[in-house]
Amino acid sequence: AQKITQTQPGMFVQEKEAVTLDCTYDTSDQSYGLFWYKQPSSGEMIFLIYQGSYDEQNATEGRYSLNFQKARKSANLVISASQLGDSAMYFCAMSPISSGSARQLTFGSGTQLTVLP
């Protein structure tokens, strides 16, 4: 079984500053993937970034980076230079990625990020 914990129900950040959203996970799988999704108020789920458990380097996608600390079982999302459009709910998720797995996602409860002007 897999479990994702997001301990920050809500976060505030000033525009143009960086912010870190916390995510810890638990799994018995040897191979797994970690994901972050953004859900704006319009409701759609937008994929942001992915990190494989065997990837040695932290993933980056534009202003998003994933701070992966395997020993601590954490996969924090860092958003640099926050913009007003970053205000949204953010979900951390994980899936097994072994061969033959459907790779179904297990989600955390989310963090509501508000960017202040």
Partner 1 sequence: DAGITQSPRYKITETGRQVTLMCHQTWSHSYMFWYRQDLGHGLRLIYYSAAADITDKGEVPDGYVVSRSKTENFPLTLESATRSQTSVYFCASRGKRGLTNNEQFFGPGTRLTVL
HEC-encoded secondary structure of the chain: CCEEECCCCEEEEECCCCEEECCEEECCCCCEEEEEEEECCCCCCEEEEEEECCCCCCCEECCEEEEEECCCCEEEEEECCCCHHHCEEEEEEEEECCCCCCCCCEECCCEEEEEEC
Binding mask 25-64 for partner 1 (x = CB under 8 A): --------x-x-x-----xxx-x--x-x------------
Binding mask 82-101 for partner 1 (x = CB under 8 A): ---------x-x-x-x----
The single residue among 20, 29, 78, 105 that binds partner 1, judged by CB under 8 A, is 105
Instruction: Find residue 69's DSSP bridge partners.
Output: 74
Q: How far is the CB of 50 from partner 1 (least distance, A)?
A: 5
**Token pair 């097994």 is at which residue?**
96
The single residue among 18, 109, 114, 116 that binds partner 1, judged by CB under 8 A, is 109
The single residue among 56, 62, 85, 102 that binds partner 1, judged by CB under 8 A, is 102
Chain residues binding partner 1 by CB under 8 A are: 4, 33, 35, 37, 43-45, 47, 50, 52, 91, 93, 95, 97, 102-110
